[in-house]
């Protein structure tokens, strides 16, 4: 799969998922989806994405070129700590 096509599909998947999981009583805010990292190895693609929403979510989308399947994972960031090496 072409990288541009893959990234467009990833953005669509994340936008749809994020919109569907917003609080139904709130107005849907304008937000962007951005790619933090992506790679293509042979016929497979993987991307890590997030949005400009303040929800702490990030997403991993993988495309298996052999099976022509997408795998979608949604994660919530609970904490970010610095742990010094001693």
Q: What is the pLDDT of residues 23-65, one digit of tens each?
A: 888 888 999 999 999 999 999 999 999 999 999 999 999 999 9
In the predicted structure, residue 80 carries a pLDDT above the cut 90: no
Going by the DSSP 8-state scheme, the letter that residue 48 receives in this structure is: E
Contact 59, 14 (CB under 8 A): yes
**CA-to-CA separations, 63 to 21, 29, 37, 75, 79, in angstroms, rounded:** 23, 29, 14, 18, 28
In the predicted structure, residue 83 carries a pLDDT above the cut 90: yes
| Residue ranges covered by each domain of the chain | 3-76
pLDDT at 38: 98
């Amino acid at each position: 799969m072409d990288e541009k096509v893959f990234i467009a599909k990833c953005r669509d998947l994340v936008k749809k998922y994020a919109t569907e999981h917003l609080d139904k009583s709130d107005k849907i805010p304008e937000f962007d989806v951005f790619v933090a990292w992506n790679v293509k190895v042979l016929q497979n693609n993987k991307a890590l994405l997030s949005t400009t929403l303040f929800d702490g979510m990030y997403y991993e989308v993988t495309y298996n070129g052999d099976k022509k399947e997408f795998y979608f994972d949604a994660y919530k960031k609970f904490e970010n700590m610095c742990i010094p090496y001693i």
